[in-house]
Every structure is written in structure tokens, then in C-alpha cells.
Chain A
Amino acid sequence: MIELKNINKDYGLTKALVDVSFSIKKGEIIGFVGPNGAGKSTAMKIITTYTAPTSGKATIGGYDVLENPLEVRKLIGYLPETVPLYADMLVKEYLEFIGAARHLNGTFKQRYDWVVDACGLGNVLHRQIAVLSKGFKQRTCLAQALIHDPEVLVLDEPTSGLDPLQIIGIRNLIRELAHEKTIILSTHILPEVATIADRILVINEGQIVGDGSFEELRKKVTQRNSIYLAVKSSKKDFQSAIKSISEIEDIEFDDNVRRGVVACHLFSKIDLVEKLNELVREQKWNILEFQPEKLSLEDSFIKLTQSTNSTPEQTESANVSSADEKGGAK
């Protein structure tokens, strides 16, 4: 459905996209993740024909974005990051304008009723857009993207600025649409991608650095297993006892525990669960905590983006944004 081949995009001297290629099948839901300024929006602008690529070829539904932009635009419903709305219009007028511009004529009434219901706009139809809350603005704009029942939905940060309940609403709506449409959504909120998307594209500094399902991406960045263990013991006894497991490569002690308790992260190439169990039984330790650790989506995301970039500034921004998301997602 969507095919990008060797796409480059330069803004003057800055390279926004470097040799980006991917293809998306009909009916797939793609999560586009990456730190701010990584090129997510640029890629989306190329797909929606708003921006022309500097070089490379992009086709949507078989139509080239440069040669046949009008055909491409007919296929796509687009929610830009900036949430473009005519502030002076009423919600109803705005949707009518988009409906007319999309040449819906006969089917308009039916589609209009559907989007008003699906986006929960029933109570604000006669309100001026300028006075709407952020959430309603976002939903009005989403309604605009859905009104012509497009085959491809391009959603640039569809849930930014929404409260948790609204986020769930939008997420459900996307899931509902998933079966019939090809959907690309970019987001900062990583758990969102993990729950909705079939496939995740991680982009950093204009390059695709990860492509696959959430599990595949996690495997790609996780080289070793890790287990968190907390037992009642003295550190000295613990250290001498743990040496009997030769496969342990690294131990990181956690000092934030009360006296008489030893806690640590144990790293190894193999699965340590059984060997540790044996050891615990032998030593008759009282277990307080025993937890195999999996890399969170945030961690994998940071790892993926860190492995390609070098400047500390960007790494930091990745960290900061993922920290925000943890907060924002709760």
C-alpha cells in the first residue's frame, strides 16, 4: 500500500531523512517512533504529498506522490501534528467544508453522522472552534481525517494533549478501524504503540534504526538476560555463595535496601532462573524479591536510538522524552 524507496529529504544543509526505505502492507498498523526531530513528521509529510522528497520514490496505493498527488490525496486521511483548524468556524461548518472539499456530495450526511459519533463531537457541533478545549480540537481534526473514509490514515501524534480517558477512546477507535485501513501513527507515548501497532518503525536522525514487532525489537537490543534478586543475607556470604554460578557475567548491587538484605541485578547470557533456585535452596535464603527483568519499551527505544547517534545532547533528549512518556502514559 505504501512504498518508500531510498527517500532523502534535505532542508537546506540539514538532512531530515537519509535513505529511508520501507513498505507497508494493506491493513497494517504501523507505529512510528523516534525522538523529537528524528524525521517522523517529515516522512509523513512526504507520504501525504505536502512535502516533496529531495530524492527517492514514494508510492501510495500505486500512485507516485510527485506524479499523481491528487490521486494519493484522495486515498489519505491526514491528521497533522499542528492540528490545523479554522478557528473562526463552527465545528459543523468546518466538517462541511472538508466534506465538500473531499467531494462527498451524496454520502456526506451518512459519513458526517458517523464521524460525529465516532469522535464524540455531538455536543460541540455548534461551537466555535477557537473556544474548544485541546481534546475537542484534536478530535475535530481527527474527524476531518476520517470523513471521507480513507484507505490510508496518517496520524501524526494523534493523542498528544489528550487526557487518559480520551487517549483510550482514540486508541479504541484506531483499533476499530484497523481491520479495513492501513494506519500509520507517530507517537511519543510508547506503550500506546506497543498496544496498537502490528509493527514498529524506529527512526532516529533521519534513518530507520529498527523495524519489526515490539518483541522483535526487544530481542534485537537485549543481548543478555537479567534477574533482580533480593534475599536476607550478609553481603559477604552472598558474594561467596554466588560465585558458584560461573555463568553470571556481571553483578550490580542495589544499595537502596535495609540492613541484612542483599539486592542485586544479575546478568548472564543464559537463563539463570533454575540455577539461582538451586542456590537459594542450598543456602536456605529467605527470598524477598525474585524477578526476571525485561527491557521496557522505553529502554529498548533508548537503546535503539543511542546505538546510532553519538551526540550526548540527543541521547539526553531521548531519555527526557521517554521519562515524560512514563509519566504521561500512567
Chain B
Amino acid sequence: MTDVKIIFNREFKAYFYSPIAYVFSIIFIVLNSGLYMFHFFFFGNADMRAFFSQLPLTLGLIFIPAISMRLWSEENKLGTIELLLTLPMKIEHIVLGKFLASFVFYLVALSGTLVIPILLVILGRPDFGPIIGGYFGAILLGAFFLAVGIFISGFFSDQIVSLIITSVTCGFLALIGWQYVPMVIDGWFSGLGEFLYNYVGVTRHFNDIERGVVDIRSIIYFLSFTALFLYLNAKSLARRKY
């Protein structure tokens, strides 16, 4: 476990070496809160439904890929991967350390949005169930997307390529949960859209949790996919060996 900690420390610090971390956090908080504020003032409801309903798409398309892109792509580009993979550490520990660093960084950015529930408490009497459920879902969703992102970044040495491919993948996973998209897919291949909606898309599971309906199957869905992609990441790096 010390190895995980050593890698975590380096990776987490690495986020703050460049101004990207600060810029990213501010944009994340401003954009998500900003998009939400429009709903808030327009409908005047003391809940965060609008905030959480847009979250899978904004996370999947931009924010998670931006956090995960550098995890391996930077190592590939600098050649430090050769150094890292010849250290006396298990590849699984390195992957876990990197993942946790990005995950904690994500949690820090997410905690910045806590101003919204605080505001709601001041201004009205919100129902805490969906808000807590929403944050819980956001944490699980973030972990899943980050695992996809770290897996993809292992294949590329260009961070921008990692960003785009992760964005397309996570964006797809988010979109097929929006009933309209599986309907279109069903039009092409009968049944495929429904299958994707039910078993692959994240939005349905996320919505369940966010509504306060904590279904154990949804939790298992997020945790098992997170673990699967981390495992695949370790395997792909151990196997690649060129």
C-alpha cells in the first residue's frame, strides 16, 4: 500500500504544478453552478435537480477527460513510463495510485459546488435526500468516468487525443441514458437502443441514485465498471511491453 501512496502523492501534486488545475477547478465550479443558476432563478425551486441532471454530460464530455488525459499520456510522451514500469512496484499499485490522485482531485473540484446546497439552506428549505443522493451519485459517476479515462490515456502519448477519445466514450455513455438517443438507435437496430439504455448507459443509474432511490444494483454497476476499467488499464500496460 505504501507504493500506492507514493504514486498518489506525486500524481496529486502534479495536478498543481501547472495552472491547468486552478483554471479547471474554477471553470468546473462556475460552469456547473452557472448552468444551474439559470434554472434556479427561472423556476425558483429549492432543489438541485437541474444541477444533477446536466452533470453526466458535462462531466463526461469535458471535465473528466480533462482530469484523466495526462495520467498515462504524459508518461508516454516524456518516456517516464519506462522509468515507472522498471521501478520495483506492481503495476496494479501504480494504476491505483494514479486513479486515486485523479479521483481526489475531482472530489476537491466537486466540493466547490457545495456552495449551492448552502445557498439553498439559507434561501429555502430543501429536501436533503435528493441532494445527498445526487452527490453520492456524482462521486460514483466520477469514479467510473475516471477509470474509463485512465484506461484510454494508457494507449496514447498525446493528451489531446486521450481527451477527445475519452470525451466521445463518456459522452456516449451519458447520452444513451437520455431516452431520445436510445430511441434513435432502436430505429436503426431494433432492441439495441433499449439494451444500451438499460445495461450500458450511466444516466439511468445515476438518475436512480440522484432521486434518492439508492438501488444496490446501480451502486454495483458503478463500482464494478470502475474496477473493470482499472483492471483493464493494468493489464493493457503490462501486456503492451514494447
Q: Are A103 and B86 in contact (CB under 8 A)?
A: no
| B14 within 8 A of partner (CB) | yes
Chain A, range 52-98, C-beta contacts under 8 Å to B: 52, 70-71, 73-74, 76, 78, 80, 82-89, 97-98
Interface membership of chain B positions 1-41, coded 1 if the CB is closer than 8 angstroms to chain A and 0 otherwise: 01100110010001001100000000000000000000000
How many B residues face the partner with a CB closer than 8 A? 22
| A226 within 8 A of partner (CB) | no
Complex: chain B residue closest to A86, CB-CB: B80
Q: Are A102 and B79 in contact (CB under 8 A)?
A: no
| B235 within 8 A of partner (CB) | no
Q: Are A73 and B78 in contact (CB under 8 A)?
A: no
| B88 within 8 A of partner (CB) | yes
Complex Cα distance, B241 from A11, in Å, reads 10
| B83 within 8 A of partner (CB) | yes
Q: Are A51 and B80 in contact (CB under 8 A)?
A: no
Task: For A88, give its contact among B18, B86, B89, B241 (CB under 8 Å).
Answer: B18
Chain B residues contacting A45 (CB-CB under 8 Å) are: 82
Looking at chain A's contact residues, the main secondary structure is: loop
Complex Cα distance, B183 from A196, in Å, reads 72
Chain A residues contacting B14 (CB-CB under 8 Å) are: 86, 88
Task: For A52, give its contact among B7, B88, B241 (CB under 8 Å).
Answer: B241
Shortest 4 CB-CB distances between A and B: which pairs?
A82-B79, A88-B17, A84-B80, A84-B79
Complex: chain A residue closest to B16, CB-CB: A88
Task: For B87, give its contact among A73, A85, A88, A89 (CB under 8 Å).
Answer: A73
Chain B, range 46-83, C-beta contacts under 8 Å to A: 78-83
Q: Are A50 and B86 in contact (CB under 8 A)?
A: yes
Known: A73-B87, A73-B88, A74-B88. 10 other contacts (CB 8 A): A45-B82, A49-B85, A50-B85, A73-B86, A80-B79, A80-B82, A86-B10, A86-B80, A98-B87, A101-B88
Q: How far is the CB of A308 from chain B (nearest CB, A)?
A: 25
| B242 within 8 A of partner (CB) | yes
Complex: chain A residue closest to B6, CB-CB: A100
Q: How far is the CB of B24 from chain A (nearest CB, A)?
A: 16
Q: How far is the CB of A96 from chain B (nearest CB, A)?
A: 10
Complex Cα distance, B86 from A71, in Å, reads 11
Q: Are A80 and B83 in contact (CB under 8 A)?
A: yes
Complex Cα distance, B22 from A111, in Å, reads 36
Chain B, range 212-242, C-beta contacts under 8 Å to A: 241-242
A residues apposed to B, CB below 8 Å: 11, 45, 48-52, 70-71, 73-74, 76, 78, 80, 82-89, 97-98, 100-103, 144
Chain B residues contacting A49 (CB-CB under 8 Å) are: 85-86
Task: For A102, give its contact among B18, B88, B90 (CB under 8 Å).
Answer: B88
Complex Cα distance, B134 from A212, in Å, reads 70
Complex: chain A residue closest to B74, CB-CB: A86
Complex Cα distance, B14 from A52, in Å, reads 30
Q: Are B88 and A82 in contact (CB under 8 A)?
A: no
Chain B residues contacting A103 (CB-CB under 8 Å) are: 2, 88
Task: For B80, give its contact among A52, A73, A85, A102 (CB under 8 Å).
Answer: A85
Complex Cα distance, B2 from A40, in Å, reads 34
Interface membership of chain B positions 172-204, coded 1 if the CB is closer than 8 angstroms to chain A and 0 otherwise: 000000000000000000000000000000000
Chain A residues contacting B2 (CB-CB under 8 Å) are: 103
Complex Cα distance, B87 from A303, in Å, reads 38
Chain A residues contacting B85 (CB-CB under 8 Å) are: 49-50
Q: Are B79 and A101 in contact (CB under 8 A)?
A: no
Q: How far is the CB of A294 from chain B (nearest CB, A)?
A: 39
Q: Are B6 and A101 in contact (CB under 8 A)?
A: yes
Complex Cα distance, B90 from A70, in Å, reads 8
Interface membership of chain B positions 84-116, coded 1 if the CB is closer than 8 angstroms to chain A and 0 otherwise: 011111100000000000000000000000000
Q: Are B89 and A78 in contact (CB under 8 A)?
A: no
**Known: A50-B241, A51-B242. Contact between A101 and B89, CB under 8 A?**
yes
